[in-house]
Copies of this chain bind each other. A is one copy, B any other.
């Protein structure tokens, strides 16, 4: 379970547009790209493989992008693995799964309380 400090880090990490976009790329287009060291023959999406590849998609300097990636790593949203002189970035799905669970629990408890108080179930329109 994520403690509050960890949640705050995650929210902070995702509150910046550049970091949010990196996150999005790594988890969607970027996903397949973590394969390229496991299945070298497979043609993969080049987005988000390593720091400089990610940086190409932004009009910010490499050190700036590097710092953003560090913050995403410290929030455990991504994992980084050094291979040679490159750093490979991968999504950390477990953290996102936890976040999905936290929000879902809040919603479920809320709906359950509503049912207990009002005796109805919510129909989302």
Contacts and interface: CB of A to CB of B under 8 A. Distances in A.
Interface of A: 4, 7-8, 11-12, 14-17, 20, 27-28, 31-32, 35, 91, 93, 96-97, 99-100, 103-104, 106-107, 109-111, 113, 117, 124
A108 to B, nearest CB: 9
Nearest to A5: B17
A107 B103 contact: no
Contact of A110 (B4, B16, B93, B104): B93
Contacts of A110: 27, 31, 91, 93, 96
A28 to B, nearest CB: 7
Tell me the dominant secondary structure on chain A's binding face: helix
A17 B27 contact: no
B100 A104 contact: yes
A111 to B, nearest CB: 8
Contacts of A113: 31-32
Nearest to A97: B107
Contact of A107 (B93, B107, B109): B93
